[in-house]
């Protein structure tokens, strides 16, 4: 099966930036620093490759300063409220990390020095839990588990020496989740504000895996420049991710409205600020939920549609989404959509003949709609040709391990 060539100039290699590593081109004067300067803190927000510009816009809207777009995320400064707002409101970020310390290193032993420079009693009580998750790239440090162990030892040794006790490690749900990123000779140690990936909104059933996560779906909708007011259709909607994210986008619902966040368990947590931000988000959702335009979805798999209905109910948008079960060849949207968004099947584990037939039927469906715009995600140019439609725009996107294109088609009668 064919794959897109990386003609956009992006070498699709493993991206350490997703863990908060500094740019390789960062000035040496910025390599050794503490995480906090007065009320300002250094942050790194990660995202899927291709969504960096959208995330930069979110950071700016939240009040971020000295914003720098990196590959796979955004580095910026801001007060505590900026980080809190992003955890609550960012639709495309994967994580928001607050830097605690950073320094140039010559080898793994310097990671112990980095962690020892941090005054840990400011950040964690000995009766709390923590975990260190590491990502390494380059020749200075080669093993992520050993790197994490060095940081853990420094933290434990310092607190045991100062207080006679040490906090426990809990890798499943730590009170203080720490992220260590090593890129060549620069190591950065940060704490994860949410404690988990921000793509998890809380409405998807835990046992369900989707081919498109919520943050990427929200990003695709914004890249498509949907106006949030006209009817939208997904004729191969699967478990409904694009439709539910569209409803929340149009209804001005904060993605983190009901998220359990690690930051509330921290010593320096500003619970009053978080409560104030939640109240603001609730008020905006109360107004916006009545402004969601018609959203329509179809899928031939009744199990997928059942999951979509359940998810929409859990997400509070069941009344805004009309779902239908059946082949796309038989589907007629109840209201003519102004825009169609689709993430059709293109996985290597699916039957090639079924894939080709499905894409051919999708092309016929789009041609039958008449006027409008369609956006389709694909990792396979051969399948895309089965639509027999000409693209007017292609945006490179990374979906999991797949190099994809988010493609725009202008539909005409």
Is residue 95's pLDDT more than 70? yes
Q: Which CATH architecture best describes the domain 16-192?
A: 2-Layer Sandwich (3.30)
Per the CB < 8 A criterion, the answer to whether 191 and 98 are in contact is: yes
Question: For residue range 214-239, what is the model confidence (pLDDT) as tens digits?
Answer: 999 999 999 999 999 999 999 999 99
Containing H/E element for 158? helix 144-163
CA separation (Å) from 354 to 62, 238, 342, 347, 359?
A: 45, 16, 17, 11, 9
Helix, strand, coil share of the chain (percent; to 5): 35, 25, 40
Helices and strands in the chain, H and E counts: 10, 17
Is residue 213's pLDDT more than 80? yes
Q: Are strands 129-137 and 168-169 parallel, antiparallel or unpaired?
A: parallel
CA separation (Å) from 279 to 264, 268, 272?
A: 16, 21, 11
The pLDDT score that the predictor gives to residue 32 is: 58
Mean pLDDT value across residues 236-257: 98
Closest C-alpha among 143, 42, 378, 87 to residue 151: 143
Per the CB < 8 A criterion, the answer to whether 141 and 107 are in contact is: yes
Closest C-alpha among 126, 122, 70, 84 to residue 100: 122
* Token pair belonging to 250: 């149009």
Question: For residue range 131-142, what is the model confidence (pLDDT) as tens digits?
Answer: 999 999 988 898
Containing H/E element for 307? helix 302-314
**Residue spans per domain, the chain:** 16-192, 214-251+292-411
The pLDDT score that the predictor gives to residue 24 is: 36
Closest C-alpha among 102, 98, 161, 155 to residue 130: 155
The pLDDT score that the predictor gives to residue 19 is: 47
pTM of the model: 0.90
- Residue 189 dihedral angles phi and psi, to the nearest 5°: -115, 125
Question: CA 110, 185, 60 angle in degrees (round to 5)?
Answer: 110
The pLDDT score that the predictor gives to residue 348 is: 59
| 16-192 and 214-251+292-411 agree in CATH topology | no
The pLDDT score that the predictor gives to residue 14 is: 35
* Token pair belonging to 360: 């051919």
Residue with tokens 């045991």: 160
Q: What is the DSSP letter of 207?
A: T
Q: What is the CATH number of domain 214-251+292-411?
A: 3.40.50.150
Q: How confident is the model at residue 210 (pLDDT cuts 50, 70, 90)?
A: confident
Question: For residue range 20-52, what is the model confidence (pLDDT) as tens digits?
Answer: 544 433 443 345 555 565 689 999 999 999 999
Higher pLDDT, 192 or 13: 192
């Amino acid at each position: 099966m064919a794959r897109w060539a990386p003609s956009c100039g992006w070498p699709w290699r493993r991206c350490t930036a997703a863990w908060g590593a500094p740019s390789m081109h960062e000035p040496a004067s910025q390599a050794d620093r503490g995480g906090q300067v007065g009320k300002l803190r250094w942050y790194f927000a990660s995202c899927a490759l291709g969504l960096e510009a959208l995330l930069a816009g979110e950071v700016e809207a939240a009040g971020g300063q000295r914003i720098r777009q990196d590959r796979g995320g955004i580095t910026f400064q801001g007060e505590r409220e900026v980080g809190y707002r992003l955890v609550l409101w960012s639709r495309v970020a994967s994580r928001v990390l607050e830097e605690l310390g950073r320094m140039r290193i010559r080898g793994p032993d310097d990671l112990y020095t980095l962690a020892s420079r941090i005054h840990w009693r400011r950040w964690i009580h000995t009766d709390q839990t923590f975990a260190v998750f590491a990502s390494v790239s380059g020749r200075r440090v080669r093993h992520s588990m050993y790197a994490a162990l060095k940081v853990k030892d420094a933290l434990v040794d310092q607190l045991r020496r100062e207080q006679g006790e040490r906090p426990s490690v809990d890798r499943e749900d730590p009170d203080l989740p720490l992220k260590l990123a090593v890129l060549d000779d620069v190591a950065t140690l940060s704490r994860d504000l949410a404690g988990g990936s921000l793509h998890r909104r809380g409405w998807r059933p835990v046992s369900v895996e989707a081919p498109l996560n919520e943050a990427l779906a929200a990003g695709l909708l914004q890249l498509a420049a949907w106006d949030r007011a006209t009817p939208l259709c997904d004729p191969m909607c699967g478990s409904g991710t694009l439709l539910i994210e569209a409803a929340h986008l149009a209804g001005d619902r904060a993605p983190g409205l009901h998220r359990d966040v690690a930051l509330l368990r921290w010593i320096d947590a500003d619970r009053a600020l978080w409560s104030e931000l939640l109240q603001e988000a609730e008020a905006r959702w109360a107004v916006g939920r009545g402004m969601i335009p018609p959203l329509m979805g179809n899928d031939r798999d009744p199990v997928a549609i059942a999951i979509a209905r359940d998810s929409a109910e859990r997400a509070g948008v069941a009344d805004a989404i009309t779902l239908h079960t059946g082949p796309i060849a038989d589907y007629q949207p109840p209201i003519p959509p102004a825009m169609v968004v689709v993430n059709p099947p293109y996985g290597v584990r699916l039957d090639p003949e079924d894939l080709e037939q499905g894409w051919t039927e999708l092309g016929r469906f789009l041609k039958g709609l008449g006027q409008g715009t369609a956006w389709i995600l694909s990792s396979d140019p051969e399948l895309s040709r089965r639509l027999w439609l000409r693209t007017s725009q292609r945006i490179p996107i990374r979906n999991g391990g797949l190099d994809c294109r988010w493609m725009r088609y202008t539909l005409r009668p």
